[in-house]
Chains A and B, each alone.
Chain A
Amino acid sequence: MIHLVDAENIREYRAEMDQAYRLRHQVFVEESKWEELRKADGREIDQFDDGRALHMLYIRDGAVLGYQRMLPTTKPHLLSDVLPDLCEGERPVGPEVWEWTRYCVSRPHRERGRALSPIANSLLSGIVEWGLSTGVSTIIIEMDPIWLLRLVQLYFRVTPLGLPRRYGPSDVVAVAAKFDSRTLARLREMRGDTESVLYRPVHLETARSKLA
């Protein structure tokens, strides 16, 4: 299940967050060679991991097998402060727009071949379920353009914010991806189950007050 962890409940998730930072280090530093993120203690933590971040953890039997982080665009985030060159036009900003970063799945649980793994599907479903219940409709993604087709097939309405640029070995493009209930229906159809992936349903009122 996907657990939502923010400033309010992060104390209850001390052990799991430790696993999450280690998973990030394993995936982004050890595997993807983002050397500037390397940390001596093997926990990848950056300037955005403070009270503003919403962490989404895929936890099974106490083990963190997947992770992603959502950042509000109303505060500094990667596109505004780290990768501004990827955005040629107007930068989408607002309480309904969040940035999706640090998406990762632990290696043994990744896709066989290239199809979306069950954990990858749950992480994506987590964003859409959370978004539909809190009024978040759009996510900013910085990604390899090879992902575009899969997003289009999931009925995300994807608007590029610039043309792809070369970063190291791969191309990166920033996009704004808008989703709706069709996106969730498609993800559920692929998973073959209609249950919520969220550990606790998001309470609309608390969520709204947080966004405001």
Chain B
Amino acid sequence: MSASQFNDESNRASKSVGIADSPRRNRRARAGNSRRKDLDNTLTFIRDIDRAASPIEICSVILKAVRPYGFNNILAGTIPLPGSTQSQQESNVVLADWPMDWAQRYFSSGYLFADPAIRRVTSDVSPFMWNELAPLCRDDPMASRVMDEAGDFQLKCGFTVPLVTLEGEVAGFSIAGPRVEMPPYLRGMMSLVTAYAFGHALNLRAKSIEAAQARITPREQEILQWAAAGKTEWEIGEILNISEHTVDKFFRSARSKLNATNRTQAVAEAFRRYIIT
């Protein structure tokens, strides 16, 4: 069952609502209607995330939705173990659209281990606004300093959703900005959408690792993806603006890397290894 299927049904249903015979029922219908609209928006949001082909695209889908509420930046990653080096900390980042200067200072000065948001993520699974962290900063000058300096980089306000990966690692997904609004519906929506965005980014990463292991190039991956969509070599050539002969060359190369004897087997193998989806 696809998100769009749900959308179609909900559009039909929302047209039929509105015939209510009492003010009370009317009010209830309106509340139900707006919850239904929030769900539809969430489903569209999730569908757009699923379609994103790269971590950068995932970030831009999310920022487009949260910018109207003042959020301009995203940082999401698994929480590094205490004592991790700067490069270990940076390799834990899964999605980032974050001020470079601040990231540099944050990771090189060990701010991560003083950050009250990180402390909260590892101790409680419910999402939170950064202004709820004040009690954690009260007797901790280093924690207050991290929060204050973040403010200098237009990251004064934020919202973080704790996540847990299949491997059991704790992760945090933050959006932030200088001044923000967080209506209840956005809170509910973000507590769902962040899991899709993070999961999709991790699956994309696994896919590119698989591709690298098979030494499949991005171009070969693209051609396999179009072949899986049923396109002929001529059509793929038209789409990618290269000759049919070149498509054929890429195909042979991908086939031999995947140890496949024909086109169908190559596509099946690429699916099995998550090189294409």
Binding site for B on A (CB under 8 A): 88-90, 92, 111, 113-116, 138, 144-146, 148-150, 152-155, 158-164, 170-171, 173, 176, 178, 182, 185, 190
Contacts and interface: CB of A to CB of B under 8 A. Distances in A.
B203 A153 contact: yes
A164 B192 contact: yes
29 contacts: A88-B32, A89-B13, A90-B9, A92-B1, A111-B168, A113-B168, A115-B167, A115-B168, A116-B166, A138-B1, A148-B196, A149-B164, A149-B166, A150-B166, A152-B198, A152-B199, A152-B203, A153-B202, A159-B1, A159-B6, A159-B46, A160-B43, A161-B39, A163-B35, A163-B38, A163-B192, A164-B188, A164-B191, A190-B166
B195 interface: yes
B10 A89 contact: yes
A182 to B, nearest CB: 8
B162 to A, nearest CB: 7
A148 B195 contact: yes
B3 A171 contact: no
A94 B199 CA distance: 28
Given A149-B195, A163-B189, A164-B191, A89 B1 contact: no
A159 B7 CA distance: 11
Given A114-B164, A146-B164, A163-B35, A90 B199 contact: no
Interface SS, A side? mixed
A182 B43 CA distance: 23
B234 interface: no
A185 B206 CA distance: 14
Leading 5 A-B pairs by shortest Cβ distance: A152-B199, A115-B168, A148-B195, A114-B168, A163-B188
Contacts of B168: 111, 113-116
Contact of B39 (A115, A138, A163): A163
B52 interface: no
Given A148-B192, A153-B203, A159 B43 contact: yes
Interface residues of B, number: 42
Interface string B176-190: 000000000100110
Nearest to B10: A89
B163 to A, nearest CB: 5
A105 B95 CA distance: 33
Contact of B195 (A145, A163, A176): A145
Nearest to B271: A182
* From A144, A146, A149, residue with most partner B Cβ within 10 Å: A149
B6 A89 contact: yes
A149 B165 contact: yes
B202 A173 contact: no
B192 A145 contact: yes
Nearest to B33: A88
A92 B192 CA distance: 19
Contacts of B209: none
Given A145-B191, A149-B165, 20 more contacts: A88-B35, A88-B38, A88-B39, A89-B13, A89-B40, A90-B6, A90-B10, A90-B13, A116-B168, A138-B1, A146-B163, A149-B163, A152-B199, A153-B166, A153-B202, A158-B196, A160-B39, A160-B46, A163-B185, A171-B191
B42 interface: yes
Contacts of A148: 192, 195-196, 199
B260 to A, nearest CB: 18
Contacts of A144: 125
Contacts of A150: 164-166
B170 interface: yes
Given A89-B6, A114-B170, A153 B188 contact: no
